[in-house]
């Protein structure tokens, strides 16, 4: 099977566009721009299709809001006849530092409401996910403001380096498999590049 589904998690709407919570959308926009692919409106969000070395990859940015992402994931898995193992969900993670990446084959939702909804909807934890660390530099009780806040200028300037690494990791996932992609991305840290 040479079809893959890559879903970036985020919230639709201009007010969320540049927030940490929307890093999944931002990464897919970056990737699509690099390969000069365009987005079109479709069921449950925006869709972009690319072909690389005989593989078909469909990017989806759901318009269901983060906490209801499962509806979009289920719809596209069914419509495109793609196995969960050929699906990659990209999300923000405040449990890991900014500039750190974690790719896993499966696992728990880790307290992330988007993943929680996906797992409840598709009834499995067995799908790959790429967590992009956003750090947790907020005061007690200010988590929502932080997650829905915009990137700091010093973070913003590093996003392209981060997104280049993620783009390479996604290509490795599609062309060489999850194990190689995990080896490539799980050792990545922005701190080491400074």
Catalytic residue among 21, 81, 86, 112: 21
Residue located via tokens 């880790």: 110
Strands 45-52 and 55-62: antiparallel
CA 70-71-75 angle, 5° bins = 115
Number of C-beta neighbours around residue 45 at 10 A = 23
Asked whether 194 and 110 are in contact (CB, 8 A), the reply is no
Residue 92 forms beta bridges with which residues? Answer: 132
Does the annotation count 21 as an active-site position? Answer: yes
Active site residues: 21
């Amino acid at each position: 099977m040479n079809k893959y589904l890559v879903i970036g998690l985020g919230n639709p709407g201009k007010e969320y566009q540049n927030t940490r919570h929307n890093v999944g959308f931002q990464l897919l926009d970056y990737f699509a721009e690099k390969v000069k692919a365009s987005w079109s409106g479709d069921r449950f969000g925006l869709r972009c299709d690319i072909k690389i070395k005989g593989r078909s990859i469909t990017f989806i940015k759901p318009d269901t809001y983060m906490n209801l992402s499962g509806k979009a994931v289920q719809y596209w898995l069914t419509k495109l006849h793609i196995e969960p193992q050929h699906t990659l969900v990209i999300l923000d993670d405040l449990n890991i530092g900014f500039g750190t990446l974690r790719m896993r084959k499966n696992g728990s939702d880790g307290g992330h409401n988007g993943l929680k909804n996906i797992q409840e909807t598709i009834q499995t934890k067995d799908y790959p996910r790429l967590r992009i660390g956003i750090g947790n530099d907020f005061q007690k009780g200010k988590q929502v403001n932080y997650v829905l806040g915009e990137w700091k200028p010093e973070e913003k300037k590093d996003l392209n380096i981060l997104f280049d690494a993620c783009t390479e990791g996604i290509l490795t996932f599609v062309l060489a498999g999850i194990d190689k992609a995990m080896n490539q991305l799980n050792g990545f840290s922005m701190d080491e590049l400074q």
